[in-house]
Amino acid sequence: MGGEVFRRLIFLPVTLFFVATLVFLALRALPGSSIELLGSQFTTAGLKEQLIADLGLDKSIWEQYGIFLGELVRFDLGRSFLTGKDVSSMVGETLPVTIELAVASLVVMTIAGIGMGLLAGAFPGTLADGLLRTVSVLLFSLPWFWFGIVLIIVFVLWLGWFPAFGRLPSSVDYEAVTNFVLIDAIILGRFDLVVPWLKHVTLPALTVGLTTSGVLMRLTRVGVIETAKTDYIRTARMKGVPGPRVFFRHILRNVALGILTVIGVQFGAMLGGSVIAEVVFGYPGIGRMTVDAVLNRDYAVAQGGAIVIAAFYVLINLATDLSYRWADPRLRRGGR
């Protein structure tokens, strides 16, 4: 096992290097656009040239690449062309917001997916089973962004239960420490933050969580059905173990591992999903920051955001893989 883990860890910086290079090249394939966008605001010719020099855009692409990599290894992501803000600190503000949303979505996905899967798996072939499977397919087939908008229409416009926009109401004054609302609420003793935050996070989390719950639902369902057919379950039943106990103690435990893996893999997918949910709900996370920067051709912010999202994604996938090996001893021995 040690060898495999080592190999994956060695591969990590290589992957990140390629990711950074791809991001750098993609953003520079259309040269000068950012300056033209900015330049249209300046009428004096000298100002535009000075700006180009300040941003280092007059240098050759190789020089720019060298500077970019040099800064990257020092965790310096540069400054926003448009606002002059330090990209690293922008990432520091927006990444926790996205992680919060991804975790909240994961909670929704887990509850909905496992709940529907257990129910359908416990009664396969029945009307309830068919109904639940249809729901899971429906949820999967809905465009995420559109589902989010439908939730806004129903729960914000018609019922008025939740706010539609942002992460906290502007009336709340919040001095961030870690930028994680729940952690800050504990550190600062500001428990009044929790309810407004929950209200804001509910709809985006439902959007991402429900649309991704189908995979987990189907896996749980199949797991329950397959496990119920095994010899040891038949033995348990023949011994006279009561039905519910067989279900929860014997079947559920054996299905749990497969479920855990899927949850891990889906957590990575949540990051992609939250990009869209953040745009729909005006949620100030790193996905929305990156998309806005791309649309404005704010190179430094876009590449910083893209690299951080990709790096985070790679790390999560690695962690999932390792925890799977840890949880399943058979893989530990075989994975040498």
Partner 1 sequence: MPTTRADQHRFRLPTLTGALRLLPWLVVGLLIFAAIAAPLIAPYDPIKNVGSPMLAPFSPGHPFGTDGFGRDQFSRILHGLGPMMFVSVGAVALAVAVGGAVGLISGVMGGWLDWMIMRAVDILMSFPLILAAILVLVALGASTFNLMLAVAISQIPIFARLTRALAAGEVVRDYVMAARASGFGMLHVMVSEVAPNILRPLLVQATSVVAVAALTAAALSYLGMGARPPEPDLGYMVKEGQELIFIAPEQTILPGLVIAIFVLAISFCGDQLNEREGG
Residues making contact with partner 1 (CB under 8 A): 11, 15, 18-19, 22-23, 25-27, 29-30, 124-125, 130, 133-134, 137-138, 140-146, 149-150, 152-153, 157, 215, 218-219, 222, 225-226, 268-269, 271-272, 275-276, 279-280, 290-291, 294-295, 302, 306, 309-310, 313-314, 317
Alpha-helical segments (H) within the chain: 2-28, 33-39, 45-55, 61-73, 87-122, 127-141, 144-151, 181-188, 194-228, 231-239, 243-245, 252-280, 286-296, 299-327, 329-334
Alpha-carbon dihedral sign for residues 96, 98, 102, 107: positive
Minimum Å gap between C-beta 271 and partner 1 is 6
- Give min distance, CB of 84 to partner 1, in A: 22
Smallest separation, CB 279 to partner 1 (Å): 6
CB of residue 98 to partner 1, shortest distance in Å: 12
Q: Give the nearer residue to partner 1 in terms of CB position, either 184 or 218.
A: 218
Shortest spacing between CB 250 and partner 1, in angstroms: 17
Are 121 and 223 spatial neighbours (Cβ–Cβ below 8 Å)? yes
Q: How far is the CB of 242 from partner 1 (least distance, A)?
A: 18
What's the sign of the alpha-carbon dihedral 226, 231, 234, 240? negative
Q: Using CA atoms, how far apart are residues 209 and 103, in angstroms rounded to an integer? A: 10
When the beta carbons of 118 and 181 are compared against partner 1, the nearer one is: 118
Of 115 and 190, nearer to partner 1 (C-beta) is: 115
Q: Measured from the CB atom, is 12 or 183 closer to partner 1?
A: 12
Q: Is 297 helix (H, G, I), strand (E, B) or coil?
A: coil
108 or 302: whose CB is closer to partner 1?
302
- Residue closer to partner 1 by CB (options 96, 223) is 223
DSSP string, 244-258: HHIIIIIIHHHHHHH
Q: Please, what is the minimum distance in Å from the beta carbon of residue 266 to partner 1?
A: 12
- Report angle CA 268, 269, 270 to the nearest 5 degrees: 90
**How far is residue 285's CA from residue 309's CA, in Å, rounded to a whole number?**
11
DSSP one-letter code for 156: I
Q: How far is the CB of 237 from partner 1 (least distance, A)?
A: 13
Contacts of 54 (CB under 8 A, 6+ apart): none
For residues 213 and 108, the answer to whether their CB atoms sit within 8 Å is: yes
Rg (CA), the chain: 24
Closer CB to partner 1, residue 42 or residue 296?
Answer: 296
Q: Which CB atom, from 229 or from 239, has the smaller least distance to partner 1?
A: 229
Q: What string of DSSP letters covers 44-101?
A: SHHHHHHHHHHHTTTS-HHHHHHHHHHHHHTT---B-TTT--BHHHHHHHHHHHHHHH
174 vs 281, beta carbon nearer partner 1: 281
What does the alpha-carbon distance between residue 85 and residue 157 come to, in Å, rounded to a whole number?
36
Beta carbon of residue 165, minimum distance to partner 1 (angstroms, whole number):
12
